[in-house]
Structure 1
Amino acid sequence: MVLTSHQQMLNTDSTTGLWIGEFTDPYYEFRDKNYTVVLASPKGGSPPIDPMSKLTENITASNRRFKDDDFAKHALKHTVEIDGVSASDFDAVFYPGGHGPMFDLASNDASGRLIVDFISQNKPVAAVCHGPAALIKAAELQPSILKGKQVTGFSNAEEKLVFRSNNIPYTLEDKLKALGADYHKALIPFTSHVETDGLLITGQNPASAGPTAKALIAMLEANKNN
């Protein structure tokens, strides 16, 4: 799992970072299926957490489970630097969201190359909410990763509803479309929506984090049986 290291936003003192539920929901989907999970980030160490994701109304069952899980808390505090990660050592990669990835992972060379390597090695790439911003750098390196592909991600409508439109450098929906992606979204904002196209699995918003992980697991299990 590749997490953001970025917390500053534009035109505000409010901070962002990793949306904690978009990490914990998939993390336990993987762990409960006996997958080994390695956490990486551009800077390594402990990633910033978006304070809004810790608010009571955004807490999920996996958040509560995480609070009592010393192993997982230690792992999150000690992420490895993405520069040292090789796709050949893993079966898949997953990018959680929070607004942070729009700033750092969207332009991170090591992350972009990692995604290209996973695809070239016929291994799945999954991302949720603002996590698909990581596909921007990958598409710069290899345009076919996004061009014509059915994807989703945090929508323009959702961005307006969380009042962060003036605090980000671009909107993810528009950026994905500009790179040639066939963008889709749920009819109702903040409801779960997942798109799968080839090796690419994307989820729209926090509610999509667990379902996106389940779609990735299903793909991995299918590949095992082939």
Structure 2
Amino acid sequence: MSKRILMVVTTADTMNEGHKTGLWLSEFGEAYIEFEKRGYQITVASPLGGKAPVDERSLEGGETPQEILDTAKHLEDTEKLEKIVGASTFDAIFMPGGHGTMFDLPDNDKLQHLIREFYESNKIVASVCHGPAGLVGATLSDGTPLVSGKTITAFTDNEERETTLDQFMPFLLESRLRELGANVVTKENWAEHMQVDGNLITGQNPQSTTIVAKEVVQKLS
């Protein structure tokens, strides 16, 4: 039987002070392509369901490969997270980033429940860039923050400041994860970087998406 992946994307399209945001398309597309070429069954879900917004910044420069642009069709009608019964029918959960995740993933009760179920069932929990915002509210059954004591990475405070969007964020992701007890390992800005702690796989930035997706594939094979 083919493996089944739950990809959870943001449906938040604005950040503080009304600035537009959404999903970073390459982080979704690169992972989707890696999973699709392995024949995996992929379900794309989001907090609100329906169309997931793509951050226009992720398309700037006109250099996005066509195969990445083509994956946007899978964002037209996402499943609502509430309709996902549980982790039992999936082998892994993958959360791509985009600044939108900072606004609708940390406090999503359904997502927190799913992540706990995946993790405590020894299934893969993977995320990249701002995707680890989904881990911020996740706890284990005993109430401990899921990331406490785990070695992970995420979009760094320095990278956020370099984007100049730090002033429009509800918090800085690296700092919040450290506050929750995570051992956050980072490299220089925009360096390809991944951390693996058991079945918890995290990537630092958009440049790290493919290596994270390939690590998910390797663990599932």
TM-score band, normalised by the shorter chain?
over 0.9
* Separation (CA, whole Å) in 1 of partners of 2:53 and 2:139: 26
Q: Equivalents in 1 of 2:68, 2:182: separation in Å?
A: 34
What letter is aligned with 2:150?
A: K
Q: Is 1:40 equivalent to 2:42 in the alignment?
A: no
Distance of 2:157 and 2:105 partners within structure 1:
20
- Deviations 1:62-106 (CA, angstroms, capped at 9, x unpaired): xx1143x4xx44431010001111211111010000011111111
Instruction: Answer yes or no: is the 8 Å Cα contact 2:15–2:169 preserved in 1.
Output: yes
Percent of aligned positions with the same letter in both sequences?
Answer: 40
Summarize the alignment of residues 111-190 of structure 1 with structure 2, pairs less than 5 Å apart.
111-139=111-139, 142-186=143-187, 188-190=188-190
Residue 6 of structure 1, aligned match among 4, 12, 24:
12
Please tell me whether the aligned partners of residues 41 and 80 of structure 1 are also in contact (alpha carbons under 8 angstroms).
yes
Superposed, which structure 2 residues align to 1:21-36 within 5 Å?
Answer: 21-36=26-41
Calculate the TM-score normalised by the size of structure 2. Answer: 0.92
- CA distance, structure 2, for counterparts of residue 109 and residue 172 of structure 1: 19
Contact 1:150 1:181 in 2 (8 A): yes
Structure 1 CA distance, aligned partners of 2:201 and 2:79? 24
Does residue 79 in structure 1 map to residue 85 in structure 2?
A: no
CA root-mean-square deviation: 1.5
Which stretches of structure 1, 4 residues or longer, exceed 6 Å deviation after superposition?
none
Q: CA deviation at 1:24?
A: 0.3
Q: Is contact 1:139-1:179 (8 Å) kept?
A: no
Q: Which amino acid in 1 is paired with 2:97?
A: G
Compute the displacement of 1:140 (Å): 7.7
Of residues 60, 67, 72, the one that matches 1:55 is 60
Query: Does the aligned pair in 1 maintain the 2:116–2:140 contact within 8 Å?
Result: no
Name the SS of the counterpart of 1:107 in structure 2: coil
Structure 2 gaps, min length 5: 1-6
Give the AA of the match of 1:179: L
Work out the number of aligned pairs and report it. 213
Q: Is it true that 1:65 corresponds to 2:71 in the alignment?
A: no
Distance 2:64 2:212 in 1: 16
* Whole-angstrom CA distance in 2 between matches of 1:60 and 1:211: 18
Distance in 1 (CA, whole Å) between partners of 2:154 and 2:90 is 24
Deviation per residue, 1:109-141 (Å, 9 max, x gap): 000100000012110100000000100111386
SS, match of residue 218 in structure 1: helix
Letter in 2 for 1:78: D
The corresponding residue for 1:200 is 200
Q: Distance in 2 between matches of 1:126 and 1:4?
A: 15
1:33 and 1:176 map into 2 onto residues whose CA distance is: 32
Q: Which one-letter code corresponds to 1:76 in the other structure?
A: L
State the secondary structure of the residue aligned to 1:37: strand
